[in-house]
Structure 1
Amino acid sequence: MFLFATTISRSAQNPSCVVLLRRSITQKAFAKTSSRTRTLAKSQGKVVILGSGWAGFGLMRQLDKKNYDVTVVSPRNYFVFTPLLASTSVGTLEFRCITEPVRGYSKDVDYHEAWCNKIDFDNQLIHCSSNLDDNKDEKFTLDYDKLVISVGAYSNTFNTPGVKEHGIFLKDINDARRIRARVLECFEYAAQPGLSEEEKSRKLHFAVVGGGPTGVEFSAELYDFITEDLSRLYPQLMDYTRMTVYDVAPKILGNFDKNLSNYATSKFKRRGIQIKTGTHVLEVKKDSLCLKEEGEVPFGMLIWSTGLMHNPLVESMTQVAKEPKSQRIITDRHLRVLDKDSQIPIPSVYAMGDCATIQEYDLPATAQVANQKANYLSKVFNREARGKEITEKGFSFDNRGSMAYIGKWEAVVDMTPVHQKATEGGHMAWLFWR
């Protein structure tokens, strides 16, 4: 109080100083009661992007920073090149090779490492909580002129008991690190003296639930890691090591051409990787799977890769239209989020990536779709910034096919959407995949 009075007294001789001081005090008091910081520096205002995955990061990179004030909110401060995530889990690639920092791309992008907990569409506000250790869960609010929801999706457990506690997902770098550590831990445990053959076999059984591209590619990478690297370090344990891929579907790689699916299956079986399709997991315990068809099956490590489910933020959004089965946000062809009751686009709100789908134009939740949506929306925003009319008829997906690595420098490539005969399996397909 004394310091304040002294400052006023000394400033009385200069009225302009008093005005500035009062203005500063008023602004600080206002800052404590409101977090509205809408910028007027850029002609098109503030674009807030939720998420730093294929959709969010792609849009951030391509937006015109001269006309848009771009802010990214994401619990992770980097982008992950997910197709090579399985490779990092076994050491084929180092983790830094498949990541790119959000802040490293452009100095004109503002970033907050935080979760978005709630969206206030009426007042154009998002309520967030910090994901930093030093101020974990500290709340703050941001406003927006345009909001792009690209928060992705979570791994679907189908409410199977024990999956979250005892299984490992493969969605992020931290998952890959955990897998690498767990594989080595299983081999070190089995190498200890005094263990029975049964105990070694239990610990060296690696189970993968999910026969889609992610599950198949991880199985292939793990097979290479065991046969090429760990076999030199633990030759005495190779006879106890086994891998099994479980899937409720009748075959693995169900979205691929039938011949390629059969090719991958035959290659896996020839290498000793068991494939058990039509299998239902009832429960996951600490060291075992409870299967409807076989009963209890022990494992040393379980990888769960069975598709996607809605993000908690999407679940909390009661105002938007959602697809009944997947609960993904429904947008129109221009990626504008639709109101649940009126089916009219909510002003200035867009959604793309795994968390969203297009009305009457359902697309798979893949990186290819998310990347193309980011390309489309960036063109729309940039045209608006230049004052040009939006002539696009809406987003249209250009399916360029699918690829999957199946081990031993072989892959399967299915580009039948491009040409009906464009399928390949083997070493040449691996070169193309790589």
Structure 2
Amino acid sequence: MQELNKGRYNVTIISPRNHFVFTPLLASTSVGTIEFRCITEPVRSYSNSISYYQAQCSNIDFEKQQVLCTSRIGESTFMLLLEDGESFSLTYDALVIAVGSYCNTFDIPGVKEHAYFLKDVNDARRIRKRIIECFEEASRPGLDEKRKNDLLHFVIVGGGPTGIEFSAELYDFISDDAIRTYPEGLVSRARMTLYDVAPQILGSFDSHLSEYTHEKFKRKDIQIKTRRFVDQVEGDHLVIRNEGKVPYGLLVWATGLMPNPLVETLSDRVALDAQNQRMITDGKLQVLKKVTNSMLQNVYALGDCAKIENNDLPATAQVAMQKASYLAKGISTTTAKTTPAVTNFIFKNRGMMAYIGSSEALVDMSSVHERAKQSGHLAWYLWRSAYFGMTVSTRNKLLIACHWFLTWCFGRDISRF
């Protein structure tokens, strides 16, 4: 949206939320390290020359070049959509599909109803509220010991960067803030367990960094249980295969990705990958037709909902950002009725980072240089510096720096709201 040539195009944005979320710091907001407004950027504030509609794209008519939309006004999340609103349609000359994806529940019973996801600010707000609820309820007089222990058992399913960073942020909250505001005997009951189906956590990172994180979590009494399968989720417990019931106070679901409903709607017309989760594009990010594999004229896709043919890149923000910049420059240099005269998209892997708690982090830039791997406090400074620099607006840079300083001075806010 920022880089498109506004003099050449009338730009229209359709999205069920009227803000952009800087997701790398989403876990920090879920425990109050920074506030929610620090990572949101209002769409309308960027340019007066764009049109924005708060709506959900429900279907696309490629022949008529029309986008069919349903109004979405009010609270919503990626997993829970509102009742259908009023419908309308918009025509286009060039269309960019960047609808993202949802957390994959793997059709496990009870996950949608009882688990907490971490994809949007509303999710982080719900998690933050639930954490405080668990501590407040556990402090109630007359509550039996087992119930207290169950309420203060925090379970995370998923050993990727999202699950690890949330676990780290929650550990910091408990060890730095909860212990100062709740009775010591209560906080000492708090425990965390992380489950994953993979043989090790952070499988996309260098194995030494994964082992380093495992050892650090072990010292913090964060249990890591790999090769575990969840069979069912209930309101106060989940069922682990070959282990039985595991009570919890909060369950955060941070597993893989599942397709956006729009991708499923278009599955009879566009080519999808083997898992039917992502649309397939050519090297110039143009969507391919299902049967002929020829390109759909002036229809592009990027981010988690798309995959380049014969080039399976990870579904990360880094890939999406580079694709967006590439596409914006390509479209801006040509007319809407011709294929962008540019070379195919080339991804430049700049590495990965993850926060692991206690002012320590991981930086894996082995894709740039085989020895460019760092863990510990220095990596934490690099992690904070990198995400601070990538924050979109000057306003949010100031807010983030301010809240980091306030948290360091006074601790996190434990208000429930």
Cα RMSD, aligned residues only: 1.6
Is residue 315 of structure 2 the alignment partner of residue 333 of structure 1? no
Is residue 222 of structure 2 the alignment partner of residue 222 of structure 1? no
Which amino acid is 2:123 matched to? D
Report the TM-score, using the length of structure 2 for normalisation.
Answer: 0.88
Aligned partners of 2:65, 2:219: CA distance in 1, in Å? 57
1:68-126 Cα distance to aligned partner (Å, 9 max, x none):
10000000000000000000000001101001010011111100000011100000001
Residue of structure 2 in register with 1:201 after alignment: 149
After the TM superposition, which segments of 4 or more aligned residues of structure 1 sit over 6 Å from their partners? Answer: 386-389
- 1:81 aligned to which of 13, 18, 22: 22
The structure with the larger Rg is 1
Residue of structure 2 in register with 1:299 after alignment: 248
- 2:207 aligned to which of 233, 248, 258: 258
Residue of structure 1 in register with 2:396 after alignment: none
Secondary structure, in 3 states, of the residue corresponding to 1:419? coil
**Match runs of 1:167-178 below 5 Å:** 167-178=115-126
Identity of aligned residues (%): 57
**Match runs of 1:34-433 below 5 Å:** 60-133=1-74, 137-234=85-182, 235-317=184-266, 318-385=268-335, 390-433=340-383
C-alpha displacement of 1:293: 2.8
Aligned partners of 1:396, 1:384: CA distance in 2, in Å? 20
C-alpha displacement of 1:387: 12
8 Å contact kept, 2:331–2:340: no
1:123-150 Cα distance to aligned partner (Å, 9 max, x none):
0001111001599610111000001100
Aligned partners of 2:191, 2:197: CA distance in 1, in Å? 20
8 Å contact kept, 1:383–1:389: no
* Larger RCO (CA within 8 A; separation ≥ 6): 2
Which amino acid is 1:262 matched to? E
Aligned partners of 2:336, 2:154: CA distance in 1, in Å? 55
- Count of aligned pairs between the two proteins: 375
C-alpha displacement of 1:196: 1.6
Aligned partners of 1:133, 1:412: CA distance in 2, in Å? 38
Residue of structure 1 in register with 2:393 after alignment: none
Query: Structure 2: 5+ residue runs without aligned partners?
Result: 76-82, 385-417
1:142-181 Cα distance to aligned partner (Å, 9 max, x none):
0000011000001001011000000000000000000000
Aligned partners of 1:360, 1:220: CA distance in 2, in Å? 36
8 Å contact kept, 2:334–2:341: no
Aligned partners of 2:322, 2:299: CA distance in 1, in Å? 18
Q: 1:386 to 1:299 in 2, by over 3 A?
A: closer
Q: 1:412 to 1:315 in 2, by over 3 A?
A: same
Report the TM-score, using the length of structure 1 for normalisation.
Answer: 0.84
Secondary structure, in 3 states, of the residue corresponding to 1:230? helix
Which amino acid is 1:304 matched to? W
8 Å contact kept, 2:19–2:42: yes
Which amino acid is 1:249 matched to? A
Which amino acid is 2:204 matched to? N
Aligned partners of 2:149, 2:356: CA distance in 1, in Å? 24
C-alpha displacement of 1:316: 0.6
8 Å contact kept, 2:94–2:336: no
8 Å contact kept, 2:298–2:338: no
Aligned partners of 1:390, 1:233: CA distance in 2, in Å? 59
Secondary structure, in 3 states, of the residue corresponding to 2:303? coil
Aligned partners of 2:342, 2:211: CA distance in 1, in Å? 41
Aligned partners of 1:143, 1:325: CA distance in 2, in Å? 30
Aligned partners of 1:402, 1:263: CA distance in 2, in Å? 15
Aligned partners of 1:143, 1:386: CA distance in 2, in Å? 13
8 Å contact kept, 1:309–1:326: no
